[in-house]
Amino acid sequence: INLRLEKTYFITNLLLIIPRLCNSFHIFIKMDSLFSRINIIFCSFVISLACCAVGNFASSFIYKELPIGDTELHSILDLGISPYLRNDQANIALNINTNLSNSLNWNTNQIFTFIYVSYKNKHQNNYVTVWDDIFSKKKNKTSFSMKGVINKYPIRDIGRNLRSKSINLNIAFCYMPIVGSIKYHHLKVSTEKKLPVNYFQYK
């Protein structure tokens, strides 16, 4: 009798458990289907975004305008020895005129503009950045025109070779797109100028 009761109890419990298992499996199937749908939506979104990025990059080749800019030496402010590095350095003032509005298109993140001095000594070609700025539509800054702009960074030589050196001012643009490769465009626009023979301080 006890054995029959145990079998009956086992069968009763089994009959109660089976519907619960089936219900849990049904929920699992629903969850799997939900995750599958989310995965499909996410993958479709990523593929669409990638296609838009490629299209954006390709379309920028249709609209290509080179930046416009020029610079010239306004005056030499001083020529001396750096108190810390003990090498030659000079400070200058610049006339800067640049307009990048035609180069800022839908794929432009920003355009980094910099002016550098080039000269020769025993180390052959030397390049020293003296001024820079960032132009973008986000900053609502697409052009710059001013005379007598003092350099942000002095002309520093590796030794004491700046006196009597002939220098050239060059303006360059670094185009930074939203999608694509970074490009550089250099303009050599200034005539050659000569630094003083002797050290002097601005008065």
| 8 A C-beta contact, residue 181 and residue 164 | no
Within-domain flag for 159: yes
* Interval 63-90 mean pLDDT: 87
pLDDT at position 62? 67
Indicate if 117 and 30 belong to the same structural domain. no
Q: What is the pLDDT of residues 176-188, one digit of tens each?
A: 888 777 888 888 7
Residue 128 has pLDDT above 70, yes or no: yes
Within-domain flag for 201: no
Within-domain flag for 189: yes
pLDDT at position 95? 94
Structure tokens belonging to residue 170:
């060059």
Within-domain flag for 200: no
What is the CB neighbour count within 10 angstroms for residue 12? 10
Indicate if 159 and 72 belong to the same structural domain. yes
Per the model's pLDDT, the better-predicted residue between 48 and 32 turns out to be 48
pLDDT at position 32? 59
What is the share, in percent, of the chain residues with pLDDT greater than 90? 32
Indicate if 141 and 45 belong to the same structural domain. no
Containing structural domain, residue 48: 1-59
Longest dimension (CA), the chain: 122
State how many domains the chain has.
Answer: 2
Residue 155 has pLDDT above 90, yes or no: yes
pLDDT at position 159? 87
**DSSP helix/strand/coil, 179:** coil
Within-domain flag for 177: yes
Judge if pTM exceeds 0.85.
no
**How buried is 198 (Cβ within 10 angstroms: 0-12 exposed, 13-18 middle, 19+ buried)?**
exposed
Q: What is the pLDDT of residues 48-69, one digit of tens each?
A: 887 777 776 776 666 667 788 8
| 8 A C-beta contact, residue 129 and residue 151 | no
Torsion sign across C-alpha atoms 163, 190, 72, 117:
negative
147: nearest Cα among 104, 92, 90:
92
* Interval 162-166 mean pLDDT: 91
Indicate if 102 and 150 belong to the same structural domain. yes
* Interval 158-181 mean pLDDT: 88
